[in-house]
Amino acid sequence: MERRWFSLEDRPELFDAAIAVDGDANDASFMQHDTIGDLANASRLRDRWPGFFLVLVEGDQVIARAVMIPFSELAPGRETLPDTGWDGAVLWAAQDALDGIDPTVACALEINVDPSSRGQGISSEAVYAMRDTAHRRGMSALVAPVRPPDKAGQPFVPMNDYARQTRDDGLPIDRWLRVHVRAGGEIVGIAPFSMVVVGALDDWRRWTGMSFDSDGLIAVPGGLAPVLVSQHLGTAVYAEANVWVRHRL
């Protein structure tokens, strides 16, 4: 059956089915409490940048979405991609939209594939679809603050060390990093605090079902890094590093 990518600019009626795709669910539900994520909610992305919100249709069924935001790398103070990664990209795009600054690159925020359609190479198709869309819209590059999911098995390993781990064929050990590298992406840096979640210890107990009754670094299900816990302050902080990948167009 034929598969075809559309943008919401061309097919706005696909939005509800696109956001219903839930193939990216994982144990790290606490990530929903990254406050910058509220700024990049799906409805706002649809309304502001529908041409960068891609939807994959197979037959009459939506099976994947691939979402980008555009920002400028030429604005003052943007000599390098932000250490704040995913959060920083969202802020830059919002700032540029408010200030009327023309974008120069597209930034991948998310690829989400329905579980029933996994194992068919759709994640790679999504990267190529984003590259093609960014190119057609005059962007010089597609960049991505990649959240490497297999890192959850090594939460105490620094992301810089993890990103350098390769298989015998020279490709990254992480499956999402492999998708990008195979599609022509280049690992260009680490975003050391790409996504940040701060909460009271009672919040963390509710989010994770864990006791949080000691100080220090604590691994949590689905986390790519440990959570830093302070009993004295009654708070815990999760700062997740991501990997910046650049696709030159």
**Domains in the chain, start-ordered, CATH in brackets?**
3-248 (3.40.630.30)
Cα(229)–Cα(200) distance, rounded to whole angstroms?
A: 10
Are 171 and 8 in contact by the 8 Å Cβ rule? The answer is no
pLDDT in tens, 22-39: 765 556 789 999 999 889
The per-residue pLDDT of the chain, averaged, comes to 95
Radius of gyration of the chain (CA): 18
* pLDDT of the residue at 24: 54
Pairing of strands 227-230, 235-248: antiparallel
Q: What is the dihedral of CA 161, 183, 20, 151, to 10 degrees?
A: -10
pLDDT exceeds 60 at position 245: yes
What is the greatest pairwise CA distance in the chain?
A: 59
* pLDDT of the residue at 192: 98
Q: Band of the pLDDT at 218, cuts 50, 70, 90?
A: very high
Q: Which two tokens stand for residue 9?
A: 């600019």
